[in-house]
Structure 1
Amino acid sequence: MDTQHLQAFVAIAETGSFSAAAERLHLTQPAISKRIALLEEQLKSPLFDRIGRQIALTQAGQVLLSKAILILSEVTAAQRAIADLKGEVEGKLSIATSHHVGLHYLPPFLREFSTQFPQVKLDLHFLDSEQAYYEILQGRFDLAIITLALEQDSRLKSHNLWHDQLHFVAAPTHPLAAQQNLQLADLSRHPAVMPDTNTYTTQLISKLFETQAATLDIGMVSNHLDTIKMLLSIGLGWGVLPKRILDSELVILNVAHEPIMRPLGCIHHSQRSLNNAASMFLQLLQRDQHQPLPPTHQ
């Protein structure tokens, strides 16, 4: 059974689309369709029901999916293990990272790593932290460097690298900006601009509001902190942002609360051995854990 055919099958099953799968695998849609046709011919069973533009796994497809994921994972592990026997740091290093971490923390480390190990091909993907967790669990990336979950999945290994201090902020013209000794209940009277409610950051803030029986009124949503910063700067609400990205466009609100620390770090699958490149990159991150390299400004 050809692993390229299985890759196409898994990509379609996970994206729900032949075109999206083709984009993921950097192939044309006819090439993807041909691989599925050959796989269905080999298995003598249809793998997808095609109803208009919608596709769904057949019963045979459902049976094959978990097996295909396992087969591809084992093939990748075997390739890594054989390559690592040489003791050389080479091959591909696939990393998933959130936009905030990728833009404001990783650049110095990526620069140093690529200088030390130019033979490694860096494969960097920007995803929401929650999506990156899922992708690591599926074995698609070597490492994810993201906001850590409030509750860690037992299948993952987690390395705490930094703490992002979060502040309540708003534009200088916002009504809350001139007030002193604010309570969370005072913020409840004004809409907030926050990441989506299923993100780890908003879950953290929601729990804080719950402890004081205050209501978190989210008026607008964006998962990109730099977008939130822009929306706040023009007075569309108050928000919570890392100290690292604050500037004169926003003011820190005088809210009575304990410091809010958001853990940032690296995760990888506990049952997937790290290749030499991933191990060296993780060592680089951990070496400067307590004295991180200076932030990179855009």
Structure 2
Amino acid sequence: MAVTDVQGLVSGELSVATSHHIGLHRLPEILKEYKRSYPNVELNLSFMASEAAYDMVVEGKVDLAVATLSQHQHRAVRTTNVWNDPLVCVCGLEHPIADLAVCSAKNLVKHPALLPEKGTITRVIIERWFEEQGLTITTTMETNYLETLKTMTSVGLGWSVLPEVMVDTSLRTIGIPGLRVHRSLGIVTHKNKTMSPAASAFIQMLKTPPP
């Protein structure tokens, strides 16, 4: 039965794991519309790193996750890409490279970087590109809280690679020739778990977000 046929019957609990970044930048309007459309659903959100969100799905501790999608598919989960999330190189307005129209990757890595923790999906994406150029990044700060990386980058502690959606007037985007990296953000569900009407309605709304 289609979700639209059972809207009046959609109730119960829905547990969703997601990252702080997605919760701040991708979900607010969707959550608002979901609560308006399905007021009888008790929505429980848990914020964590995307890697932990995957684990929660695999272990059956949440109904689904909205996370940065791994490039290596876990055999127990099914993923659906929802958003393409371009990443850009940024620095603070007073950083030594801030006034360069273009900065080579070789010159960039002479300066310390502020990046997500090693082994995370986003860090792997970033490091892979630099490794392909034969370059190694030196970090002076690592955290999975992208808002913290943004703030520390803006005050000049180093350069970073952040989602383009986060860039504002406190940061300077640095043109790095050949740098074209992005993340895929989307839905993670367990292959052997049947989605409840509440979960199915949420997934449908993620795929067709409100205008």
Asked if TM exceeds 0.5, the reply is yes
Deviation of the 1:93 alpha carbon: 0.3
Higher helix residue share? 1
1:260 to 181, 188, 198: 181
Deviation of the 1:89 alpha carbon: 0.8
TM-score by length of structure 2 reads 0.94
The residue correspondences of 1:146-165 to structure 2 (distance < 5 A) are: 146-165=67-86
> What CA distance in whole angstroms lies between the structure 1 residues aligned with 2:105 and 2:61?
40
Count of aligned pairs between the two proteins: 206
Structure 1 counterpart of 2:61, which letter? R
Structure 2 counterpart of 1:215, which letter? T
User: What residue is the counterpart of 2:198 in the other structure?
Assistant: 277
Larger RCO (CA within 8 A; separation ≥ 6): 2
User: What residue is the counterpart of 2:172 in the other structure?
Assistant: 251
The residue correspondences of 1:87-236 to structure 2 (distance < 5 A) are: 88-236=9-157
Gaps of 5+ in 2: 1-5
> What CA distance in whole angstroms lies between the structure 2 residues aligned with 1:156 and 1:202?
22
User: What residue is the counterpart of 2:161 in the other structure?
Assistant: 240
Deviations 1:18-43 (A, max 9, x none): xxxxxxxxxxxxxxxxxxxxxxxxxx
Gaps of 5+ in 1: 1-84, 294-298
Q: Is the 8 A contact 1:185 1:215 kept in 2?
A: no
Q: Is the 8 A contact 1:97 1:129 kept in 2?
A: yes
Structure 2 counterpart of 1:277, which letter? A
**RMSD, matched Cα:** 1.6
SS of alignment partner, residue 13 of structure 2: strand
> What CA distance in whole angstroms lies between the structure 1 residues aligned with 2:84 and 2:105?
22
> What CA distance in whole angstroms lies between the structure 2 residues aligned with 1:97 and 1:126?
5
What percentage of residue pairs aligned between the two structures are identical?
39
> What CA distance in whole angstroms lies between the structure 1 residues aligned with 2:170 and 2:51?
29
TM-score by length of structure 1 reads 0.67
SS of alignment partner, residue 177 of structure 1: coil
User: What residue is the counterpart of 1:71 in the other structure?
Assistant: none
Rg comparison, structure with higher value: 1
Deviations 1:235-262 (A, max 9, x none): 0000011111111100001211242111
Higher strand residue share? 2
